[in-house]
Amino acid sequence: MVTIQLHLPDDLAKKALSITGDIETFIIDILKTRVDEIKQPKSLAEEYYQASIENKMLMKDFVHVDNEGWDDDY
């Protein structure tokens, strides 16, 4: 394990402390997430494809609610 000393601006430290009491773990988690994002760059087309899959799953969840109270006569 490597020890790194960080100097956080006061306002950033206050914001982090308002979210969590364990800043070290918080920073490590954020750093892991960011490194993973950088390692696996996605093309815009891939991001749209992933979003379309998520949208289809959401549509399936709400298909019954979407049709409630609607008729074909306007």
Alpha carbons 33 and 49: distance in angstroms, whole number: 21
Per residue in 48-68, pLDDT tens? 998 999 999 888 888 777 666
pLDDT range class, residue 7, cuts 50, 70, 90: very high
Mean pLDDT calculated for residue range 19-36: 92
Q: Please count the residues of the chain.
A: 74
Tokens of 13: 């430290």
pLDDT at 27 over 90: yes
In this predicted structure, what is the pLDDT of residue 38? 81
pLDDT range class, residue 73, cuts 50, 70, 90: low
